[in-house]
Amino acid sequence: MLKWLSIVCSMMYVLATTNTAEVLKVPLFVEHLMEYEGNFAEFVMEHYDNHKEDSDWATDQKLPFINPPIVLMVNAQLPEINFHIEKPEEIRIPQKNSTYQEKNFPSLYLSRIFQPPRFS
């Protein structure tokens, strides 16, 4: 049961992320691979890496993902954003002459309940 579920999920993923026409060409890929004299890596390198025209060129062009159709083309252009930051006017705040003087407070706070911890 788990095997079938994984196959169904894999197929859903493949069909959702690729062009269905390309997926339907997979049997032709397998058939052409069986006719090919060599291993899988040589087959892929010959047919998908700068393939040259040869005797079975028409069949090679029908393989999946050789000439995928352009299904969706998105042309996005970012808008031009021009902005200018103006320097704010300088604001002058008149300063008052401060007459603050530090006062000597009595140490009455030491006789209160809330005191720092003491080490004995």
Q: What is the pLDDT of residue 94?
A: 79
Domain ranges within the chain, ordered by starting residue: 24-74
Rounded to whole angstroms, what are the CA distances from 34 to 4, 27, 28, 77? 26, 11, 10, 47
| pTM (two decimals) | 0.44
- CA pair distance 102, 100, nearest whole angstrom: 7
- Reference 65, options 22, 29, 19; nearest CA is 22
pLDDT tens digits, one per residue of 61-110: 888 878 766 665 667 788 888 888 888 888 888 777 766 666 665 666 55
Q: Which amino acid belongs to residue 77?
A: Q
Give residue 6's pLDDT band: very low, low, confident or very high (50, 70, 90): very high
| Residue whose entry in the numeric block shows the structure tokens 């890929």 | 29
User: In whole numbers, what is the pLDDT of the chain averaged over residues?
Assistant: 79
